[in-house]
Structure 1
Amino acid sequence: MANRRNFIKTTAIASVAVALNAFKDKTDEIEEVSSISGKVKKPIVLSTWNFGIPANEAAWDVLKKKGRALDAVETGVRITEADPKERSVGYGGRPDRDGRVTLDACIMDEFSNIGSVACLEHIKHPISVARAVMEKTPHVMLVGEGAFQFALSQGHKKENLLVETSEKEWKEWLKTSDYHPKANIENHDTIGMIALDEHGNLSGACTTSGLAYKMHGRVGDSPIIGAGLYVDNEIGAATATGHGEEVIRIAGCHLVVELMRQGKSPQKACEEAVMRIVKLTQIRNKNLKDIQVGFIALNKKGEHGAYCVQGGFNYAKYDETGNKLIDAAYYLKV
């Protein structure tokens, strides 16, 4: 009889616990829905660095016509890829130490479809090749010669991407071959773009020529989904710029989005990701002054944030108030 009473008591307690957990889950669900209810700031597009201003203009032309965020981010970053004056992205990008311009890019849509290319040569618009990988192959990443041959099959033309100015700088660099990547935009960087469209959907794109005078075959964070870019259409999106090795080390953009999933604002999520890099840099006894990483993030409400290791990183924001360049807050006060 005692055993039967104990069984009934235990069962009753368990039932209450299940009910409480179910209530908590429902409450959490309500709170989550509540957190994204109310007025959503859309459309909005964010992109890294000052070349994000003209890139945003092109993206906004798509968004204002109620176009998809995916089309907007591809259209936007193609502007930077095609500009020979921008020496860290696409045509005009600085070469590796062998004098070869190699490009990396990735793209991600609202359905978690992804496409990526790495170490791609002779093709002006790697972002469009990445989208073709996403939409026309069973794969998510193509690299090197395989990526090049695929690009040709999709109608892209083989072009010389090494402009005269970049070639002269590379030949000057060869005299010393001193390899010491600088912080900010002096000899490398990336355009990352994330957007929220009128339909409430998110997408992102990221494209770069990577570190100037890198070892041939080096790949940074920009073509790696979860490092240089990540989109979760239920939560938000993030993209990164700076020293790719440090971003890869913490799966940076996935981390930012997961922090937003936990309830952090885009700003707080970017700050925590940067602090993760700061901590690991200190553990590894590296000089933080030699490192720059910046994150930008956007959630489903159209709220945004940005943060970087040290001063000098800026980003462009285009929404109903216009297209503006903003200096990001930073950790290292020199």
Structure 2
Amino acid sequence: MTFGSIATWRMAHDGIVSSMELLGQEGTSQDAVEKIIKTVEDYPYYKSVGYGGLPNMEGVLEMDAAFMNGDTLQIGAVAGITDVSHPISVARKLSKEKFNSFLVGQGATKYAMLNGFERKNMLTNRAKKIWERRLEEINHHHLNPYDGHDTIGAISLDSFGSMSAGTSSSGLFMKQPGRVGDSPLSGSGFYVDSDIGGAAATGLGEDLMKGILSYEIVRCMAEGLSPQEACDKTVYSFHDKLTKRYGKCGAMSLIAMNNKSEWGVATNVEFTFSVATTSEEPQIYLANMTKEKTTSIEPITQDWLDAYEKRIKMPII
């Protein structure tokens, strides 16, 4: 039986590598998805997820996460959770609850504390400095406060044929307190069905949730489209529809994998992702939308990776 994992952005790559080791030892897709996302949540140089994530307008780091079991269709999610080391783990536990499986704000944080999850100040000094600098820029130069919305979304297929999906994000930098994007919303930020496949999204949540794109990709795969065909059809048709109806379309990138470990990606911005299967070694790719509304995909170069590492670790003065 084949297995594999795919996840959004270069930041997911180390987790993808670890997930393949787990899956190769007959580990479950649930554990694989959680491992991928926890690896990102722990890394302080990723500004849009977990520890090191950038805060809201008031300097508070509010995080969103979701988990879905493709066998049972159970879903757990948190929104606006604070001071919790691994929101994805809280979401996974909530997916096992018959009631109260989606918690927000203080309720989500209290649930995590009562259930023994690690309490941690997730706002790093680096993130706080970036927030302080942006406040000064806004006050002195009247700049748009909003920036950054790179969700980690992951899908895994294990050797038993089970699939899972998960997301985690600190959301839009300088967002209004209480703002929730698409990441914890079923059908928008993620969706998975082990009989078909799964999809996950990253980008501007306010626009992504207008199209329920993750569910739509899975629906298209159920009708016989390959993951790449489903991604291209769903993302680019909605990009055009939203541009026509709404006047503009924010960033949106989606990944998909079916229950044969075939995968696909579509995006309207420059987008990186990591993927591995039993027949493909872990690899980071760069994707772009073509003029023909298809997706060009090519491996990243070492020069690109070196520039990326230098950029995310640049000192904050």
Fold-level similarity (TM above 0.5) = yes
Partner amino acid, structure 1, of 2:263:
H
- Partner of 2:13, secondary structure, is helix
CA deviation map 1:253-310 (0-9, x unaligned): 001100111111111111122123312332235344xx21111111111111001012
CA deviation map 1:109-167 (0-9, x unaligned): 12111100001011120000001111245222000000000000111232211111111
Name the stretch that deviates more: 133-142 or 51-60. 133-142
- Partner of 1:284, secondary structure, is helix
Partners of 1:86 and 1:293 in 2: how far apart? 19
Give the counterpart of 1:108 among 42, 48, 68: 68
Partner amino acid, structure 2, of 1:296:
I
Partners of 1:242 and 1:332 in 2: how far apart? 20
- Partner of 2:10, secondary structure, is coil
- Tell me the residue number matched to 2:104: 143
Residues 119, 143 of structure 1: 8 Å contact kept: yes
Identity fraction in percent: 34
Partners of 1:151 and 1:167 in 2: how far apart? 24
- Tell me the residue number matched to 1:316: 274
- Tell me the residue number matched to 1:86: 46
- Tell me the residue number matched to 1:328: 287
- Partner of 2:94, secondary structure, is helix
The 5 A counterparts of 1:186-265 are 187-265=148-226
CA deviation map 1:82-120 (0-9, x unaligned): 111111100100001110101000001121111000010
Partners of 1:111 and 1:328 in 2: how far apart? 32
- Where structure 1 has 5 or more consecutive residues not aligned to the other structure, the ranges are 1-39
2:260 maps to 1:301: yes
Residues 261, 277 of structure 2: 8 Å contact kept: no
- Partner of 2:209, secondary structure, is helix
- Where structure 2 has 5 or more consecutive residues not aligned to the other structure, the ranges are 293-317
Partners of 2:206 and 2:111 in 1: how far apart? 27
- Partner of 1:46, secondary structure, is strand
Residues 134, 145 of structure 2: 8 Å contact kept: no
CA deviation map 1:174-213 (0-9, x unaligned): 124333545xxxx231111101110111111111101100
Partner amino acid, structure 1, of 2:109:
F
| Structure of higher CA gyration radius | 1
Residues 179, 213 of structure 1: 8 Å contact kept: no
Structure 1 residues 180, 309: closer, same or farther in 2, change over 3 A? farther
Partners of 1:107 and 1:73 in 2: how far apart? 8
Give the counterpart of 2:233 among 266, 272, 287: 272
- Tell me the residue number matched to 2:311: none
Partners of 2:291 and 2:174 in 1: how far apart? 26
| Cα RMSD after superposing both structures | 1.6
Residues 78, 108 of structure 2: 8 Å contact kept: yes
Name the stretch that deviates more: 150-159 or 203-212. 150-159
Partner amino acid, structure 2, of 1:225:
S
The 5 A counterparts of 1:121-160 are 121-136=82-97, 138-160=99-121
Partner amino acid, structure 1, of 2:286:
D
Partner amino acid, structure 1, of 2:265:
A
Partner amino acid, structure 1, of 2:272:
N
Partners of 2:291 and 2:121 in 1: how far apart? 39
TM-score by length of 1: 0.82
Residues 188, 212 of structure 1: 8 Å contact kept: yes
Partners of 2:164 and 2:184 in 1: how far apart? 15
Residues 246, 277 of structure 1: 8 Å contact kept: no
Count the aligned residue pairs.
Answer: 286
- Partner of 1:314, secondary structure, is strand
Residues 306, 329 of structure 1: 8 Å contact kept: no
